[in-house]
Structures are given as C-alpha cells and as structure tokens.
Amino acid sequence: MPRSLPLAAPWPFRALWLLLPVLAGPAVADALADRTRAVQVVASALAWAAWGLVLVASLVPRSVTLTIVRSLAPGAVLLAAWSAFASDELGWGLAGIVVAVLAVVAALSPATADAFVDGSSYGDEQRVALRIPIAMAVGPVPIAWALAFAGLVVGPLLLAAEQWVAGGIALVVGLPVVVAVALRLHLLSRRWLVFVPAGVVVHDPLAMAEPVLLQRHLLRRIGPADAEAVARDGALDLTGGALGLALELRTAEPFKVGLRQGRETVEATGVPAVLVTPGRPATTLEIAAERKLPVG
C-alpha cells in the first residue's frame, strides 16, 4: 500500500533537511561575515542547534518529535530568505529558500503527520492524524509561531550584540512565551484517530476532555460525512472546519462526549455520530477496511 513504500514519509523531509545546510550554508555564512564575532557565533550556534535537533527528531517519529519538527523547520525559510538578500550569494540564497520551503511542505504534509503519530502507537493499533482546524491554521497558529520564534532568537542575538538591557528583557519575556506556545502547538500533534482491536478511538485533546472509544460491535458506518444526515440528527462536528474530506463515524447507540469549553468541560449526550477530518481520508478508510470495520 502507498503508506508502506520505502520512500514514504518522513524520508522526503529527512532528505531535504540534510540538503539544507549544503545549499543554504554559503549564503548564511556570507550574510554573517560583516557581523561581530559574538553575533556570528551565537547565530551559527542557534542555527546548527535547531538543525541538529530537527534532524534527530525526524529520525525518531513520535507525536512530540512531530511538534519539534513542525515548530522549528519553518525558521529555516526565514533564515534562508534573510541570507539570500543580506549576502552577495544570491544564487545560493535562492537555492536555500527553495529547499527550505520544500522541507516545510514535507513537514506539514499529512503523510508526515501520520508517520509521526503512528510512531507513538502501542501494540496492535494504528494512528492517523487529524487536520488542523481552519480557524487556527489561518490565524492563531502562525501568530503563536512567530511569537515563539522571536522569543527564541531575539534575546540571545541582542545579548551577543551587547544590547544587555534589551537582550535581558527579551530573554526573560521570550522563554516563557516559547514554552507556552510549544505546549499549545503540541496539542495539534496529539489529534488523531486510533484503530484498535476494540474499535476506533477519537483522540482530540484540543476539543475533547478525554478520548472516546467507539466500540467495534456498535460501529455502523465509517465513511464520507452526509451533510443532510448531520443536519437531521445532530452528529457532533469535531472537524473545526478543517479543509478536506470529513469522515463520519456512526454508531448503533448514542454515546457521550466531554467537550472542552475554555477550562470547563461540557458533556454532550445522545451523540449518534462524530465528524473528523483525517489528513489522508482515503488511507484512513483503507485501514478501516483492513480491520473489517463497516466502511461505506
């Protein structure tokens, strides 16, 4: 099956990430050439540390390493773009931008997400990642990432430039922001469906207080969502408006779901079905069919 091919995710990302310093390195080095020695050392140390951490994380697919990869990889695009226009090595700079963008696309791909979250599986289970709600993807996530990125690099660079007061303030303010954003972004890496021998678990700590097991013997349908049926019987929409095909998981008996509303939990009772948006709906249905669940 496509998900088991030798060149399947996350190998494309790993290859691009290994290529990144080769293509982007000359422009970055040239852009830093006229900076002070301290700034050169700190900037280089930050870049190599981030690159090495992402490389190691990509070799150990887990939900937590998915957060590391997706949090740090976009920084390569900013670094490559800055070096392309701050140096005389425009050709190398543009090559760095291209490979950095491709690496980020690979990091954000549904196939990569599935490979990482399934790496956290136990025993006879298989996990498929859910897409990020559109309301978060177009606003809060990029803004939070930008704040965390600034919090990570601005303080050390200001200190290296001997801007002691500004650097100290940026460091004190920035580090808590980095931690808070990282914890929040990690919730997005922990949203998945889990196929287990007993049925399917819907695991979404962003929207649900606790996972819900839809038992095999009660499952009646796993398939593309029927908009009319949803409107008619009140299926619970957990997609968050995410782009892509929504799947409906319907059971023979209504069940309960604890929903998060801020810091409170509100219990939804009599739920006949839930709607989710896997990153790869076709692959999700293949897995369900392999496990002899009612696909239709």
Number of neighbouring beta carbons within 10 Å of residue 205: 14
What's the pLDDT at 139?
Answer: 85
Share of residues in the chain with pLDDT > 90 (%):
86
- Whether the per-residue pLDDT at 92 is higher than 70: the answer is yes
Structure letter (DSSP) for residue 163: -
When pLDDT is averaged across residues 118-138 and rounded to a whole number, the result is 92
Q: What is the pLDDT of residues 10-30, one digit of tens each?
A: 999 999 999 999 999 999 999
Residue 6's pLDDT band (boundaries 50, 70, 90)?
very low
* Residue 231 pLDDT: 67
Report, as an integer, the average pLDDT of 117-139: 92
Contact yes or no for 259/207 (Cβ under 8 A): yes
Backbone angles phi, psi at 212, to 5 degrees: -125, 130
Residues 190-200: pLDDT tens digits?
A: 999 999 999 99
Buried b (16+ CB within 10 A) or exposed e, 104-131: bebbbbbbbbbbbbbbbeeeeebbbbbb
Q: Does the CA dihedral 20-45-167-147 come out positive or negative?
A: positive
Q: What share of the chain is helix, strand, coil (3-state, %, to 5)?
A: 60, 20, 25
Q: Is the pLDDT of residue 218 over 80?
A: yes
Whether the predicted pLDDT of 281 surpasses 70: yes
- Tell me the average pLDDT across 244-257: 94
Q: How confident is the model at residue 270 (pLDDT cuts 50, 70, 90)?
A: very high
- Mean of per-residue pLDDT scores for the chain: 92
Q: Where are the beta strands (DSSP E) in the chain?
A: 126-129, 192-196, 199-203, 212-215, 219-224, 236-237, 247-261, 264-276
- On the question of pLDDT at 291 being above 50, the answer is yes
Break the chain into its structural domains and give their ranges.
1-128, 131-190, 193-290
Q: Are 69 and 116 in contact (CB under 8 A)?
A: yes
Confidence of residue 204 (pLDDT cuts 50, 70, 90): very high
Mean pLDDT of 277-281: 96
**Mean pLDDT for the stretch of residues 50-68:** 97
Provide the CA 60 distance to its chain's centre, in angstroms. Answer: 15
Q: Distance (Å, rounded) from C-alpha 292 to C-alpha 219?
A: 11
* Cα separation of the two ends of the chain: 20
Q: Band of the pLDDT at 138, cuts 50, 70, 90? A: confident
Rounded CA-CA distance 150/242 in Å is 28
Average pLDDT over residues 34-41: 95
Bigger pLDDT: 269 or 55? 55
- Picking from 296, 274, 290, 292, the residue whose alpha carbon sits closest to that of residue 130 is 274
**HSE-CB for 101 with a 13 A CA cutoff:** 7
| pLDDT interval class at 63 (50, 70, 90) | very high
Q: Do residues 202 and 219 touch, judged by C-beta distance below 8 A?
A: no
What pLDDT does 236 receive?
92
